Copies of this chain bind each other. A is one copy, B any other.
Amino acid sequence: MEFFKVVSPEEAREAARGFLPLPAEEVSSFDAVGRVLAEDVLSPESLPEFARSIMDGYAVRAPDTFGASDSIPAYLELVGHVPMGSAPAFEVGRGQAARINTGGMMPAGADAVVMEEYTTAPDEGTVEIRRPGAVGENVLGVGDDLKAGERILPAGSRLRSQDIGAFSAVGITALKVHRRPRVAILPTGDELVDPSQKPGPGQIRDINRFSLAAAVIESGGIPETEEILPDDLATIKSRLAEAVERVDVALISGGSSIGMRDFAVEAIDSLGEPGVLVHGISIKPGKPTIIGRVRRGGADKAVVGIPGHPVSALMIFHAFVRPILRQLSGEAASELDREKGVLARLSRNLPSAPGREDLVRVKLEREGEGFAAHPLMGNSAMISTMTGADGFITVPLENEGIRAGAEVRVTLY
């Protein structure tokens, strides 16, 4: 006897696809680190806008130094010292050189910089050059770094420190980034009490409100947590209806009892079309997951019924909610993502029922040059199996298990 029709993880992933990136907002470059670009950013100008030295040394005309060596140095007339922060007032003519520091503007006439360590200035008016300079050597030419109109980064890039630096370099101090997803978390269950309270007999403290809020933060979203809701359909319906007006994603946690599962399904379906898309997934832990979708204000809102067991709740977050948040964030898919795990050797046989995808929590331990992955047993009601885990491995649907010694990829928490 099944209480709902389970679908494959792939079907569930399909139901969690197709969310559009959230609208853009403008933020200062200072606040943009970790945010996702909503548009291509083009360089408004060339970088640098003047030829600069990238070394301390002497700006020269390259041909004047050809053949210079320790035994036969070239002697050039010293015509000045390039000031930092302004244009040199002199030119470098044939047989002449000018002292220049890193970042200094190349004087007219000069086309190379010979590094200080290959020079000696025997007096105020002369410099001895002991290495030849090639044309353009130690010089950053106009537009060598970025050309005017060149794309610095495409839309969908998650901004890193170097990106912020590049924007500063060309005078971009504000950026259009996608709004961060807002996620409502509605804990439900007559048995739940706030963690600050001492539970009575038959009661337990609410875990998922806190762990899911933390997971939302880890994923770059903004959590909005609600107080614990009773197992009451009217209350759940009305709070959920309010939440989907306000947020981009609503997570109803709990409803692990049969009646409650019906409440969550009924509450989601009461919001309008298309409503519940998935009710039950052939995945462990997390089978009684609900994935729904409703339209509000011209946008699709995701509504996910998260299992009450704390381990299931977080694993379902990783497997289905995080990808939704990523779509909403506008971040472009990267070939790197699925590689960010760690390869490890499975330390013991891991049986798995075929027809079910298993997400198995593992602890990693160094073993020679690599790692051993130790599966952590214990059921999905035990939060301690998560605090001890470094990550998880995925045993695919069609697989009857993985043998000890096999190489597995561990997705790190």
A residues contacting B by CB (< 8 A) are 1-3, 29-30, 33-34, 47-50, 52, 54, 56, 82-88, 101-105, 116-117, 120, 140, 144-146, 152-153, 159-173, 189-192, 195-215, 217-218, 231, 256-259, 308-311, 314, 317, 335-336, 339-340, 342, 364-366, 371, 378-384, 386-387, 389-390, 412-413
Contact = CB atoms under 8 A, between A and B. Distances in A.
Chain A binding surface, main DSSP class? loop
Given A116-B1, A117-B2, A335-B364, A168 B190 contact: no
Nearest to A1: B117
Contact of A384 (B88, B152, B198): B152
A379 B412 CA distance: 34
Nearest to A379: B54
Contact of A202 (B30, B84, B167, B389): B84
A219 to B, nearest CB: 9
Contacts of A364: 335-336
A189 B382 CA distance: 57
Contact of A162 (B33, B49, B386): B386
Given A50-B202, A335-B366, A161 B387 contact: no
A195 B214 contact: no
A162 B101 contact: no
Contacts of A152: 384, 387
A157 to B, nearest CB: 9
B160 A29 contact: no
Given A1-B116, A199-B49, A207-B169, A33 B102 contact: no
B383 A166 contact: yes
Given A145-B382, A214-B164, A218-B160, A173 B196 contact: yes
A137 to B, nearest CB: 11
Contacts of A204: 48, 52, 103, 169
B171 A205 contact: yes
A165 B214 contact: yes
Contacts of A103: 189, 191, 204, 256-257, 308, 381
A88 B191 CA distance: 13
10 closest pairs, A vs B, by CB? A165-B211, A162-B386, A87-B201, A101-B257, A161-B214, A161-B215, A85-B191, A105-B202, A33-B214, A85-B190
A345 to B, nearest CB: 13
A173 B191 contact: no
A258 B56 contact: yes
Nearest to A192: B85
B196 A87 contact: no
A272 to B, nearest CB: 29
A366 B333 CA distance: 13
23 contacts: A33-B217, A47-B384, A49-B199, A54-B309, A54-B380, A82-B202, A84-B191, A84-B257, A85-B189, A87-B201, A101-B256, A103-B191, A103-B256, A104-B257, A144-B382, A161-B215, A164-B210, A165-B310, A165-B314, A169-B205, A173-B196, A336-B390, A340-B340
Given A162-B310, A165-B208, A339-B371, 11 more contacts: A86-B200, A102-B309, A140-B381, A160-B413, A162-B211, A166-B387, A169-B310, A171-B205, A335-B366, A335-B371, A340-B342
A204 B169 CA distance: 8
Contacts of A2: 117
Given A84-B189, A214-B164, A169 B383 contact: yes
Most chain-B Cβ atoms within 10 A of its Cβ — which of A116, A259, A339?
A339
A205 B383 contact: no
A311 B140 CA distance: 14
